[in-house]
């Protein structure tokens, strides 16, 4: 059922983005080659498919830890992170179990996942304690396929999960946060819902384009997405290719160039000292404060976004929606950010 090749050297990079975000929240208590029937590809060519139909054949997925074969259509998929859960839901499939946290999300289900009426509420919730989850809980869910990205943090975890069921890790280990489009394509392939997946992507991208047309003033404006950890540092999105950056790019926004310069080639997230607040200066700021008060930061009041009321302080739910974007989370998040986006557009 499962074949595994040696892991790609960049596997560890896929873990850093979301782990920084999620670990910070917890402390306060981010190329696919698939063999199946149709040929499909994301616009950057990350996913290629050939061979037999997923419903009657085998899908082979290359990922951070090698390759995994999925025979037929899985009936009990366990999802270990929200992006994969959303991708499955988007193609009309509820996981048998999914990693969840009642601590950060009431009932363990995100707002954009509610009301879909496809069985998520009945799925088993695998507890997340702010740091990790228990492999035994995954085993108890009796999966026939396990999917995750940053949540499968190393070879040891992958091997442990693979002993339970075929396991798929980060499909693009060069990205700290996966492209939501790639995960939807993959979800469609492994569940035999390729056509549904294609329509999901088309509809979501059309929605982003419509929003961009409605806010032409955003074109060329800058933004900073920052995780403020009081007493520690400022962690900023500093990679235009990162999955968390693409929705903003679709709206015409670009990452604050000062943050990019300070990152000095770092992939995904850059760490700034608490004294480097001036490097956050941009037309819009999205900040996760982890219980702190950004107003305590020296120089905060002088920032352009602060003066123009184009700052939004997000909670764990909103941070997840933006930091691990999906076709489900983005419309919800952008609706919530409507006033801030309008202020940034001018």
Burial class (CB in 10 A: 0-12, 13-18, 19+), 3: exposed
pLDDT grade for 117, boundaries at 50, 70 and 90:
confident
Within 13 A of 271's CA, how many CA atoms are on the CB side? 8
Cα(334)–Cα(211) distance, integer angstroms: 9
pLDDT band at residue 267, thresholds of 50, 70 and 90?
low
Please classify residue 69 by burial: count the beta carbons closer than 10 Å to its beta carbon, then call 0-12 exposed, 13-18 middle and 19+ buried. Answer: middle
Fold for domain 217-345?
Answer: Rossmann fold (3.40.50)
Residue 52: its pLDDT value, please? Answer: 37
Query: Cα–Cα distance between 319 and 26 in angstroms, integer?
Result: 13
Q: Does domain 13-205 have CATH number 3.30.300.130?
A: no
What is the band of 56 on the pLDDT scale with cuts at 50, 70, 90? low
- The residues, ordered by sequence, that sit 6+ positions from 78 with a Cβ below 8 Å of its Cβ are 95, 96, 97, 98, 126, 138, 141, 143, 145, 146, 147, 165
Half-sphere exposure of 254 (CA within 13 A, CB side): 7
Distances (CA, A) of 176 to 149, 286, 290: 9, 19, 21
| Stated pTM of the model | 0.83
Q: Residue 30 — very low, low, confident or very high, per pLDDT cuts 50/70/90? A: very low
Tens-digit pLDDT profile for residues 75-84: 999 999 999 9
% residues pLDDT > 90 (the chain): 69
Which of 246, 225, 235 is closest to 23 using CA atoms? 235
Best-predicted range by mean pLDDT (2-11, 17-26, 42-51, 303-312): 303-312
* Amino acid 265: pLDDT: 67
Residues of the chain with CATH 3.40.50.1980: 13-205, 217-345
């Amino acid at each position: 059922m499962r074949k595994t090749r040696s892991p790609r050297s960049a596997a560890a990079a896929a873990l850093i983005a979301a782990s920084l975000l999620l670990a910070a929240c917890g402390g306060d208590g981010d190329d696919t080659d698939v063999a199946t029937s149709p040929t499909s590809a994301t616009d950057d060519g990350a996913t290629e498919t050939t061979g037999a139909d997923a419903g009657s054949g085998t899908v082979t997925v290359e990922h951070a830890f090698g390759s995994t074969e999925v025979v037929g259509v899985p009936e009990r998929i366990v999802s270990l992170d929200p992006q994969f859960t959303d991708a499955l839901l988007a193609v009309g499939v509820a996981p048998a179990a999914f990693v969840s946290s009642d601590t950060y999300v009431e009932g363990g289900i995100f707002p954009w996942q509610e009301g879909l009426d496809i069985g998520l509420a009945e799925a088993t919730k695998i507890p997340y304690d702010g740091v990790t989850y228990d492999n035994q809980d995954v085993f108890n869910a009796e999966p026939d396929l396990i999917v995750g990205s940053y949540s499968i943090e190393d070879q040891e975890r992958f091997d442990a999960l693979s002993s339970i069921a075929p396991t798929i890790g980060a499909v693009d280990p060069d990205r700290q946060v996966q492209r939501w489009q790639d995960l939807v394509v993959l979800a469609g392939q492994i569940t035999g819902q390729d056509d549904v997946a294609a329509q999901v992507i088309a509809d979501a991208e059309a929605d982003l384009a419509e929003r961009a047309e409605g806010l032409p003033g955003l074109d060329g404006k800058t933004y900073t997405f920052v995780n403020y950890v009081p007493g520690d540092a400022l962690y900023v999105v500093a990679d235009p290719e990162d999955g968390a950056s693409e929705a903003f790019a679709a709206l015409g926004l670009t990452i604050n160039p000062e943050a990019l310069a300070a990152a000095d080639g770092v992939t995904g997230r850059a760490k700034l000292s608490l004294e480097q607040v001036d490097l956050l200066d941009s037309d819009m700021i999205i900040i996760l404060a982890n219980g702190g008060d950004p107003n305590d930061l020296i120089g905060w009041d002088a920032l352009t976004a602060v003066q123009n009321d184009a700052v939004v302080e997000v909670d764990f739910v909103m941070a997840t929606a933006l930091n691990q974007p999906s076709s489900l989370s983005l419309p919800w998040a952008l609706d919530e950010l409507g006033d801030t986006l309008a202020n940034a557009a001018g």
